[in-house]
């Protein structure tokens, strides 16, 4: 793969996650200025509103020019893949041809100098459950005699999530309270969550929507997807275990969820598509979840990582430590299948809607995307290199999720989502 070079030096270094081949979107502000749409390049953010005002999009469509001047990505998301392609092509030209440097460079600001915000207004958030390895390992903990339910290999299982409590990377949050019931007691009690967990997920943003009652065909599904982010679906396992039957998880999920600032466009992922395959023993998908394109390139090779930095590590200036790795290509269901399934009943999706991939765990136990799996439901603590032990997340822990595609020579990154857990309310109602 020949690597296109930018006139911006920081975009061409070997360890750069934001080369020309990436161009992820974000919403940011600097020095109390208004929120702007930005595109990441090297260690900089390009302010799209300033690029537009500099006349660099004058020959693009009026709707596209208007959309990049907004303070959220929703209008751009709603324009569709042709317009996203036109903008990406223009940005690639502006950032690679040296003659644009003089006019473009004043529209850059260092990433280190900005504050990131949620990239769009998230109307609805749905969380899938696409890792069969996660479903099997968690199922074995909750239902030892029946780990993988009969519908799993037919239905891309998902539930409606809470949009209001989704925040951007960097925000700290309080340990939640809720009803907890231990097996030894015959009644629950209100208390602070004792089994706080992360979930290593991709966030998938809908671009163009559909009309109520009109399903999206699997072969058109990805044209409705704007891009992907890192997503942590924070979970209170003890609250979940008591509340989740028969209608699914509720307060165990709605206290806080977090997104990385960057949305990597689907176009950037093109070189990392791969075959989506099933085990010979697995059923083939129903027709509405099947297509030749989905089979040959439905999966995506995205490397995922979980890191932890405890309060003690910070106090001792120790670096964060990696807890696990996995890969989105091991997902049992693809992005196109998620979108086709979500709309098969006529449900309407809208620009800015978020789909969580579900916890991405690989086939090996050490490729688990949650502590619930890594510690066998809290029964087998893990020991960190400084001697600290963890069964679940403790106050002061910072959890960092990262994702990237490629190798040491060619890499594009999704950035990271990181949050510190604070102690909960000391005076419960």
- Catalytic residue numbers? 134
Q: Which residues sit in the known binding site for Ca(2+)?
A: 127, 199, 201
Q: 43 vs 220, which CB is nearer to a second copy? A: 220
Q: Which residue has the tokens 């749905």?
A: 126
Q: 91 vs 202, which CB is nearer to a second copy? A: 202
Rounded Cα–Cα distance for residues 387 and 251 (Å): 33
Task: Report whether the peptide linkage leading into residue 166 is cis, meaning its omega lies within 30 degrees of zero.
Answer: no
CB of 67 to a second copy, least distance (A): 20
Q: Two tokens at 344?
A: 């098969």
Q: 106 vs 213, which CB is nearer to a second copy? A: 213
Q: 36 vs 210, which CB is nearer to a second copy? A: 210
Q: 176 vs 369, which CB is nearer to a second copy? A: 176
**Residue 362: φ, ψ to 5°:** -90, 180
Q: Is 365 helix (H, G, I), strand (E, B) or coil?
A: helix
CB of 284 to a second copy, least distance (A): 10
CB of 359 to a second copy, least distance (A): 12
CB of 237 to a second copy, least distance (A): 13
Q: Which residues sit in the known binding site?
A: 127, 129, 143, 199, 201, 233, 240, 244, 253, 257, 359
Residues present in the chain in total: 429
Q: Enumerate helices (H) and strands (E) in the chain, giving the number of each.
A: 11, 26
CB of 164 to a second copy, least distance (A): 5
Q: 173 vs 307, which CB is nearer to a second copy? A: 173
Q: Which residues sit in the known binding site for substrate?
A: 129, 143, 240, 244, 359
Burial of residue 15, with CB atoms counted within 10 A of its CB: 0-12 exposed, 13-18 middle, 19 or more buried: exposed
Q: Which residues sit in the known binding site for Mg(2+)?
A: 233, 253, 257
Q: Supply the DSSP string of 154-195, one letter for each residue.
A: TS--EEEE-STTEEETT--EEPPEEEE--TT-SS-EEEE-SS
Burial of residue 150, with CB atoms counted within 10 A of its CB: 0-12 exposed, 13-18 middle, 19 or more buried: exposed
Q: Two tokens at 330?
A: 């091991």
CB of 130 to a second copy, least distance (A): 12
Q: Two tokens at 159?
A: 């539930």
Please give the biggest Cα pair distance in the chain.
74
Q: Which residue has the tokens 């299948």?
A: 337
The C-alpha R_g of the chain, in whole angstroms, comes to 22
CB atoms under 10 Å from CB of 406, counted, come to 19
Rounded Cα–Cα distance for residues 177 and 195 (Å): 11
């Amino acid at each position: 793969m020949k690597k296109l070079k930018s006139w911006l030096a920081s975009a061409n270094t070997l360890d750069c996650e934001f080369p020309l081949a990436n161009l992820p979107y974000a919403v940011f502000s600097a020095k109390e200025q208004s929120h702007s749409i930005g595109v990441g390049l090297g260690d900089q953010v390009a302010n799209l509103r300033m690029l537009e005002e500099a006349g660099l999009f004058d020959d693009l469509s009026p709707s596209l020019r208007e959309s990049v001047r907004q303070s959220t990505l929703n209008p751009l998301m709603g324009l569709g893949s042709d317009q996203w392609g036109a903008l990406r092509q223009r940005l690639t030209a502006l950032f690679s041809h040296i003659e644009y440097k003089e006019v473009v460079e004043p529209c850059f600001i260092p990433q280190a100098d900005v504050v990131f915000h949620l990239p769009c207004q998230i109307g609805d958030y749905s969380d899938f459950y696409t890792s069969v390895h996660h479903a099997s390992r968690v199922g074995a903990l909750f239902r030892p005699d029946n780990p993988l339910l009969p519908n799993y290999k037919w239905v891309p299982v998902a539930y409606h999530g809470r949009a209001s409590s989704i925040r951007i990377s960097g925000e700290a949050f309080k340990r939640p309270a809720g009803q907890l019931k231990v097996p030894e007691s015959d009644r629950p009690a209100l208390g602070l969550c004792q089994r706080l967990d992360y979930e290593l997920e991709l966030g998938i943003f809908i671009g163009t929507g559909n009309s109520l009652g009109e399903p999206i065909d699997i072969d058109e599904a990805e044209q409705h997807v704007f891009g992907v982010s890192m997503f942590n679906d924070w979970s209170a396992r003890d609250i979940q275990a008591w509340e989740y039957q028969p209608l699914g998880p509720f307060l165990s999920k709605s206290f806080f969820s977090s997104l990385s600032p960057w949305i990597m466009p689907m176009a950037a992922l093109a070189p990392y598509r791969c075959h989506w395959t099933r085990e010979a023993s697995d059923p083939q998908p129903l027709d509405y979840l099947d297509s030749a394109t989905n089979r040959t390139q439905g999966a995506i090779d995205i490397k995922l990582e979980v890191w932890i930095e405890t309060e003690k590590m910070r106090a001792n200036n120790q670096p964060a430590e990696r807890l696990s790795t996995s890969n989105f290509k091991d997902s049992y269901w693809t992005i196109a299948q998620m979108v086709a399934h979500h709309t098969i009943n006529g449900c309407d999706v809208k620009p800015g809607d978020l789909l969580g991939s579900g916890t991405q765990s690989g086939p090996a136990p050490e490729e688990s995307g949650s502590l619930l799996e890594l510690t066998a439901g809290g029964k087998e603590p893990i020991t960190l290199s400084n001697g600290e032990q963890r069964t679940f997340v403790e106050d002061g822990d910072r959890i960092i999720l990262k994702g990237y595609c490629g190798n040491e020579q060619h890499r594009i990154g999704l950035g990271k989502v990181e949050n510190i857990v604070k102690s909960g309310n000391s005076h419960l109602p």
